[in-house]
Structure 1
Amino acid sequence: MATRHFLTLLDLTPDELNYLIQRAITIKSNLKAQGPNYTPLPNRTLAMIFEKSSTRTRVSFETAMAHFGGHALFLSPRDTQLGRGEPIGDTARVLSEMVDAVMVRTFSHAGLEEFAAASHVPVINALTDDYHPCQLLADVMTWTEQRGSVKGRTAVWIGDGNNMCHSWINAARQFDFNLRICCPKGYEPNADIMATAGNGVTLTHDPQEAVEGVDLITTDVWASMGQEEEQAKREADFAGLQVTEAMLDQAKEDVLFLHCLPAHRGEEISATLLEDPRAVVWQEAGNRLHAQKALIEFLLLGKVS
């Protein structure tokens, strides 16, 4: 099979993405029933390059490889020559000679694309400043587990037009659901990404209008990594966009709430929202493991019957 990368959700076809969601649900079910006895990747190695810190990303990928009988290598900027100025392409070529796949969590999406262009093993985007596609696999998996097919349903993104918002836009395109984006003026998603989104993605600045009758509500922190110095300004600019239980009451009766975590209670969400039964964030977080297992398996072995 030719080398496939997963830099955004657009790197796979809708059929392949739907396969991954169903495969992840199966892997999760089998793990709970039988334990981690499915080991399709013995002696395979995943290099994990972290230029941004993480809890869920590192634990989920490392556990996935352990369950699969393989091995994961954690590489921080201090652990690679990237931190000393080695060209991105050179590092990619070297790792391609030694490992079976590479996961990268970094700042520049263009840098990730440069890395993938030089790599002859699969490269997985574990977050860049522009996209977070692995999180969306877990999000759509969770939505599907809870409510069945997401096709034709409506989700609303409330918050910054950031990397998560961009990935929700791509998810709406690929999984064929409707997406409403609600953000403060000046914090809209990238115009080029919006231009390709199609009629199923709409933009508003009114949260009450945005949540009316939707199937799912999701958000993220107001200040992402690297934006901490903007915290006070963002809190002022995002006033009125806090997701609360009352906001969920305006959506459908069976609405779900997702958050990629970590969450700042009392800021982008009310202090008690994560305890609301409509919030399924812990299942969502756990699904990072299963969705990424399906992804790794697909990139290295193809579809498994």
Structure 2
Amino acid sequence: MSPTTSFVKEIDFSKAELEELIDLSLHFKALKKDGLVHNYLQGYNIALIFEKSSTRTRSAFTVAGQDLGMNVTYLGAGEIQLGKKESVVDTAKVLGSMFDGIEYRGFSQEDVELLAQHAGVPVWNGLTDTWHPTQMIADFMTLKEVFGSLEGLTLVYVGDGRNNMANSLLVTSAILGLHIKIIAPESLQPEEEIVALAKQHQTGGEITITDDLAQVAGADILYTDVWVSMGEAVNFKERIDLLLPYQINQGLLEKTGNPDVIVLHCLPAFHDLNTQIGREIYDQYGYAELEITDEVFQKYSSYIFQEAENRMHSIKAIMYYSLKNR
């Protein structure tokens, strides 16, 4: 944990601290559902830096900050000089002198680390190309709601296994002691240093990295994400053809052998043609569904949108945890 209680990657917190954040998230959700005011950080000011577009992360930080009584300032791409006319370090020092906390959503993990090192206030990683730590608290909070406990669960991530979501699920599962399987083509499996990090912080459970889809057997949770990350330059047709066998569909569900398995997705999801990008993909390549079929998405949508709502409750817990003693 950093001296300012920043949260820029999963290993910033121990197993006990992650569990505390999950329980605190559930507490804040109960307060919200009961209509109880909890503006414990009234008068605080936070800045939200967004180099990448966002629906859930921006909304969650904004509402969570306001519920806690804070003033929230959005700083979008092109609105500040970060990394262009002003270095990240200089920006960190300026913003840290004016705000009590800073959220960063962008491309470079190095940038969010520099912000945390030099701002002098807590910095929260809203997503980088390497990690997505705030998403993890929402995800494992959702699992605790659904299953009652995280102990003994087997989480299977299927698809692009070397993106930020796969990295974060792998390491967080290892810290919390779940069984975690990353099932992906060999060329899209986690980097060795990420796997080594997961093993270094492993408190229980088993880690499996494979391209064998038969390994979905015994899964309690199937998890997937988009096949091309924001800003990633790839041959989309080649990526789709490579990952199509790893689509979460009814056939893959049946391979788990678990009638109580659930499916999660951090969203957005390409499961139908009701988006501009989805229609463009269909017109160009003929695929109406990508990482998850619409049938499966709709079947498990209650869990997926529960997970989405929990972004707000969990981010509230993260910010409160960081700022409560300042």
RMSD between aligned residues: 1.7
What amino acid is the match of 2:177?
D
**1:198-217 CA distance string (max 9 Å, x none):** 2721111022x121011111
Q: 2:240 aligns with which of 235, 240, 263?
A: 235
Which residue of structure 1 lines up, in the alignment, with residue 131 of structure 2?
Answer: 131
User: Is structure 2 residue 228 aligned with structure 1 residue 223?
Assistant: yes
TM-superposed deviation, 1:250? 2.8
**1:18-53 CA distance string (max 9 Å, x none):** 011111111101211124x11001111110000111
TM-score (norm 2): 0.89
TM-score (norm 1): 0.94
Q: 1:259 aligns with which of 242, 247, 265?
A: 265
Quick check: 1:258–1:279 contact (8 Å CA) kept in 2? no
Quick check: 1:138–1:288 contact (8 Å CA) kept in 2? yes
Where in structure 1 are there 5+ consecutive unaligned residues?
none
Paired residue secondary structure (2:186): coil
What amino acid is the match of 1:122?
P
Tell me: CA distance 1:272–1:56, structure 2 relative to 1, closer, same or farther (3 Å).
same
Tell me: CA distance 1:102–1:22, structure 2 relative to 1, closer, same or farther (3 Å).
same
TM-superposed deviation, 1:197? 2.2
Where in structure 2 are there 5+ consecutive unaligned residues?
200-204, 272-288
> Greater CA deviation, 223-232 or 127-136?
223-232
Quick check: 2:174–2:180 contact (8 Å CA) kept in 1? no
Which residue of structure 1 lines up, in the alignment, with residue 318 of structure 2?
Answer: 295
Q: 1:276 aligns with which of 288, 293, 299?
A: 299
TM-superposed deviation, 1:253? 2.0
Please list, as runs of the form range in 1=range in 2, the aligned pairs for 1:1-305 lying within 5 A after superposition: 2-35=3-36, 37-82=37-82, 84-160=84-160, 161-198=162-199, 200-207=206-213, 209-227=214-232, 229-251=234-256, 252-265=258-271, 266-277=289-300, 280-302=303-325
- Matches of 1:302 and 1:189 in 2, distance apart? 37
What amino acid is the match of 1:107?
F
Give me the identity figure in percent: 36
What amino acid is the match of 2:181?
R
Quick check: 1:245–1:276 contact (8 Å CA) kept in 2? no
Quick check: 1:150–1:177 contact (8 Å CA) kept in 2? yes
TM-superposed deviation, 1:119? 1.4
What amino acid is the match of 1:19?
E
Aligned residues: 301
